[in-house]
């Protein structure tokens, strides 16, 4: 959650190889605190395949997040909104207008003098023409040097049309004041298709 008037923005570019095809994925994400209880989020994504423009895709999602529980370092929130475009769902995304609902939880702390955080999100998306996706996201980070974090994230997605995706992303994040720089490796684990990628991202809290 963001306090009233506070914001967060993140831009990322990923060089990917999907089932033998080279692609570049562009990802922009933002949050803005409307109040201490409500946060607005916007996410835009585009993937472009080199020499295979028929596979190009884009997507947009906008939601409102409501804080449900806040005590100490523990946070729980619910989120709902609209989603459009196949890029939001990876290789087998739904290319129609739909709705998304999400439950998010997170916790942070300090261990042996270093900072850490963990999170878990569960989301469901229902699009037109009976296309749907359920997703579980689990991740966390541990400070391994002053302002440098080792990050790990897992995605598990199931849905219609035999959609199945299990991904892992691991990387390093360098925190410089209110700016985060990160470099990560992402890979598909399900065996349904091949996907690997290098992700470079810049984020800013304001």
pTM of the model: 0.90
Which structure tokens are listed for 12?
Answer: 């990322």
The chain-wide mean pLDDT, for the chain, equals 92
Which structure tokens are listed for 41?
Answer: 């989020």
At 26-43, the pLDDT tens digits run 999 999 999 989 999 999
- Total Cβ atoms within 10 A of residue 132: 16
Q: What is the rounded distance in angstroms from the CA atom of residue 189 to the CA atom of residue 181?
A: 26
At 9-29, the pLDDT tens digits run 999 999 999 888 999 999 999
Determine contact, residues 59/44, Cβ cutoff 8 Å. Answer: yes
Among residues of the chain, what percentage have pLDDT more than 70?
97
Q: Where are the domains of the chain?
A: 7-205
**∠ at Cα 48 (158, 155), nearest 5°?**
25
Helix or strand holding residue 55 (H, E): none
At 59-111, the pLDDT tens digits run 999 999 999 999 999 999 999 999 998 767 655 668 889 999 999 999 999 98
Specify the CATH number for 7-205; select among 3.10.450.50, 2.40.160.40, 3.40.50.300, 3.90.320.10.
2.40.160.40
């Amino acid at each position: 959650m963001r306090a009233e008037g506070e914001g967060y923005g993140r831009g990322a570019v990923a060089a990917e190889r999907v089932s033998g095809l080279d692609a570049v994925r562009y990802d922009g994400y933002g949050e803005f605190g409307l109040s201490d209880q409500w946060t607005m989020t916007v996410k835009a994504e585009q993937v472009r395949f080199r020499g295979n423009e028929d596979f190009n895709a884009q997507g947009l999602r906008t939601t409102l997040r409501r804080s449900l529980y806040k005590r100490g370092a523990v946070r729980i929130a619910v989120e709902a909104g609209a989603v459009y475009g196949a890029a939001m769902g990876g290789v087998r995304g739904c290319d129609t207008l739909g709705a998304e609902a999400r439950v998010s939880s997170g916790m942070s702390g300090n261990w042996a003098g270093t900072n850490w955080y963990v999170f878990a999100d569960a989301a469901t998306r229902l699009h037109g023409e009976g296309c749907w996706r359920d997703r579980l996201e689990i991740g966390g980070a541990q400070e391994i040097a002053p302002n440098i974090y080792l990050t790990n994230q897992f995605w598990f997605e199931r849905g219609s049309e035999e959609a199945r995706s299990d991904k892992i992303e691991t990387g390093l994040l360098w925190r410089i004041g209110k700016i985060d720089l990160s470099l990560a490796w992402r890979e598909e684990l399900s065996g349904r298709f091949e996907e690997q990628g290098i992700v470079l991202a810049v984020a800013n809290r304001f």
